[in-house]
Amino acid sequence: MTAEPEPSPHEAESPESAAARFTDEFLPNLPALLAVAVRLVGSRAEAEDLVQDTLLKAFRSRKQYRAGTNPRAWLMAILRNTFLNGYRRRNLERRVFDGPDADALAPGWVGASSLRAIRDPHSGALHNLLEAPLLTAIDELPPEFKMTVQLADIEELSYREIAESMGCPIGTVMSRLHRGRRWLRARLLQEAEAVGLVEEPAKPSPAEATPPVELSRYRGKKGAL
């Protein structure tokens, strides 16, 4: 009888080098993850926890990342799932969309002169009086709309990448973008009027008077009644 040779131990990479490789590849996306997380959970401390959970999950499942695809889209998908599984704050979502003036917040027809007044002609950005209101308006969007708008407008992911991150069809991405952006625009025009940048009040048109509401929220509401 002869002894079988011992299977040689794996030439596995050291934990430190595995972590460093992951860091090199994925941590350039840290500011983006943090920016999305802060908007989703509303507090810096919780956002940091959410990002840390997200990255540890991503590290554990790093073999599932398909090389050549956008690492940011992959990380955002994990961030979203992590958020849905424990960081969601329902009371925040309810704040505006259940409010009495929710339906009033839709843009009517607005002339070019009014529109011109809300932006800075030199920088191409919004008038700086509207910076804080824009952040507030983003925060008021339901999470799925907020994240979709953020991934498109801030992270510049493609529709397909957003659809993969959000686990929904491209049509849903486009519809959320459309409604979310219309909402932001309406809120900004309302604010512009309040601070006197725009003189003529924006009149809501009936067709655009529906603020974006998540289907799950609608169902929850129906069930509660």
Partner 1 sequence: MSCERLRSLWETFLDGELPTGQVLELQAHLDACADCSESLAVSDAIRRTARQVVYDDAPMTDAFRARLEAALVSEARDEHDELERARRRRWLSRAPQVSLGAALAFAAALLLWLRLDETKDGDGQELARSGNPADRELSASRMLGPQELLDLFIDYHTAPPAPEVTEPKLVPELERDVGVKVPFPSLAAYGAEWQGGSLVHVPRTKPAAYLRYRTRDSHSVTVYVYNASRIPLHASLKQRMFREEPVYERSWRGYSIAAQLRQGVGYAVATDLDEARSAELVNAITRSVVQH
Which residues contact partner 1 by CB under 8 A?
1-4, 6-7, 9-10, 12, 14-16, 18-19, 22-23, 27, 30-31, 34-35, 37-39, 44, 47-48, 51-52, 55-56, 59-60, 111-112, 115-116, 118-120, 123-126, 130-132, 134-135, 138, 149-150, 152-154, 158-159, 174, 177-178, 181, 184-185, 188
Whichever of 77 and 141 has its CB closer to partner 1, that residue is 141
Burial class (CB in 10 A: 0-12, 13-18, 19+), 152: buried
Taking the complex as a whole, the smallest distance from the CB of residue 143 to partner 1 amounts, in Å, to 15
* Residue given tokens 């809120």 in the structure block: 187
Taking the complex as a whole, the smallest distance from the CB of residue 130 to partner 1 amounts, in Å, to 7
- Nearest in space to 60 (alpha carbons), one of 30, 82, 84, 33: 82
Taking the complex as a whole, the smallest distance from the CB of residue 157 to partner 1 amounts, in Å, to 10
E strand or H helix at 180:
helix 170-194
Taking the complex as a whole, the smallest distance from the CB of residue 85 to partner 1 amounts, in Å, to 18
Whichever of 153 and 214 has its CB closer to partner 1, that residue is 153
Query: What are residue 126's DSSP bridge partners?
Result: 119
Q: Amino acid identity of 134?
A: L
- Nearest in space to 58 (alpha carbons), one of 26, 88, 36: 26
